[in-house]
Amino acid sequence: QSALTQPASVSGSPGQSITISCTGTSSDVGGYNYVSWYQQHPGKAPKLMIYEVSNRPSGVSNRFSGSKSGNTASLTISGLQAEDEADYYCSSYTSSSTWVFGGGTKLTVL
């Protein structure tokens, strides 16, 4: 299984919005509404931010939102804050009953 495709890096200024894309195939992202997004700060375990494309777990800021169109899912962070600077990974369920992650995107808050 091939990793989902994410941009290596994105950046934005405090208060701005950014969007991270995650492109797969009809066998993963396009075929299921089981796309998740994880935030990972250096030296820490990943943290679930979005599940089932657009749902936020309890305690996650409503500045984080997710969507999907075809084989591409997106994570949008609005009102950027310094603490949002981290690596972000998408993940999708696949037709083989496995999971696949994206390569990760480094978010820099300028």
Partner 1 sequence: QVQLQESGPGLVKPSGTLSLTCAVSGGSVSSSNWWGWVRQPPGVGLEWIGQIYHSGSTNYNPSLKSRLTISVDKSKNQFSLKLSSVTAADTAVYYCARDGGYNYDYWGQGTLVTVSS
Q: Among 104, 86, 97, 96, which Cα is nearest to 3's?
A: 104
In angstroms, give the least distance from the CB of 47 to partner 1: 8
Under rule CB under 8 A, which residues in 84-103 are in contact with partner 1? 87, 89, 91, 93, 96-103
Q: Quick one: residue 91, left, alpha or beta (phi over 0 = left, psi -120 to 50 = alpha)?
A: beta
Q: Which is nearer to partner 1, 37 or 109 (CB)?
A: 37
Residues 6+ apart with CB under 8 A from 33: 52, 53, 68
47 to 76: interface string for partner 1, x by CB under 8 A = xx--xx----x-------------------
Residue pair 77/30 in contact by the 8 Å Cβ criterion: no
| Contact residues: partner 1, CB under 8 A | 1, 3, 34, 36, 38, 40, 45-48, 51-52, 57, 87, 89, 91, 93, 96-104
